[in-house]
Amino acid sequence: MRLREELVADRDAVHELHRLAFGSHGEVVAALVRALRDDDPEALSLVAEEDDEVVGHVLFTRSLLDAPRRLVPVQVLSPLAVAPDRQRRGIGGALITHGLRLLDERGVPAVFLEGDPRFYSRFGFAVGGDLGFRRPSLRIPAPAFQVARLSGYEPWMTGTFVYSATFWQQDCVGLREDDSG
C-alpha cells in the first residue's frame, strides 16, 4: 500500500470510493468533499493506493476553535473512506496516522472529528467534552465529538469547535439516522 497526496487525476476515483463506502449517504459525502476542496485549497487530502487503484481517502480541512484567548486555527478530519472490500485491513488507520503526523509537522494544535470512539481512540482521539471542548451542534452525540491534541496544543486551547461554513451549507454537521430502509 502506498500513501500519497491526492492528485486532480484521482478525483473521480475518490468520488466513487465515497459513494461506495457511505452507501445511501455516498453522494452527500462526495459532494461535501468537492465543496471542501473548493473552500480550502490548502486541505490535506490523502489517498491510499494498492495496485494503482485508490482504495482509501481522508480529508483534513481548516476549521476554528473559539478559545477564551482567541480563535485558534485547527483541522477537521472528515471524511475518511476505505473501499468496502478493503476494510479492516489497516488502510483507514494508516491514512489517519500519516495525516496526523503531517499536520503535527505543520504545527496544527488539534484535529477534531465526528465518529466512533472505539475506532478513533486507537489513533489518539478522545471525547472532546471530557477535555474541555464544546461541540458545535447538539446533533453531534457527545461520545462522537472527538479531538486529537497534537504537539502544538497548549492547555489554554479549550472552547467551542467551529466547523467551516461548508459543513453547514452541505448539512453535514451531526450524525444522521440512515433513512434508506
pLDDT bucket at 178, cuts 50 / 70 / 90: very low
Whether the Cβ atoms of residue 53 and residue 108 lie closer than 8 Å to each other: no
Instruction: Give, in order, the Cα–Cα distances in Å from 74 to each of 16, 91, 106, 135, 137.
Output: 28, 24, 11, 14, 17
Q: What is the pLDDT of residue 72?
A: 98
For all residues of the chain together, what is the average pLDDT?
94
Is the pTM higher than 0.75? The answer reads yes
SS3 (DSSP) at 112: strand
pLDDT bucket at 180, cuts 50 / 70 / 90: very low
Sequence-ordered list of residues with C-beta below 8 angstroms from that of 134, at least 6 positions apart, any chain: 128, 159, 160, 161
Let me know how long the chain is: 181
Task: Tell which CATH classification among 3.40.50.300, 3.30.1490.20, 3.40.630.30, 1.10.10.10 matches the domain 2-169.
Answer: 3.40.630.30
Domain boundaries, given as residue ranges, for the chain: 2-169
Average pLDDT over residues 65-93: 96
86 has a pLDDT exceeding 80: yes
d(CA 103, CA 46): 12
Summarised one tens digit per residue, pLDDT across range 124-151 is: 999 999 999 999 999 999 999 999 999 9
Tell me how far apart the 2 most distant CA atoms of the chain are, in Å: 48
d(CA 61, CA 63): 7
85 has a pLDDT exceeding 90: yes
Q: What is the pLDDT of residue 175?
A: 60
C-alpha grid cell for residue 124? 489518539
Summarised one tens digit per residue, pLDDT across range 97-120 is: 999 999 999 999 999 999 999 999
Summarised one tens digit per residue, pLDDT across range 2-45 is: 999 999 999 999 999 999 999 888 899 999 999 999 999 899 99
Q: What is the pLDDT of residue 130?
A: 97
Q: What is the pLDDT of residue 55?
A: 98
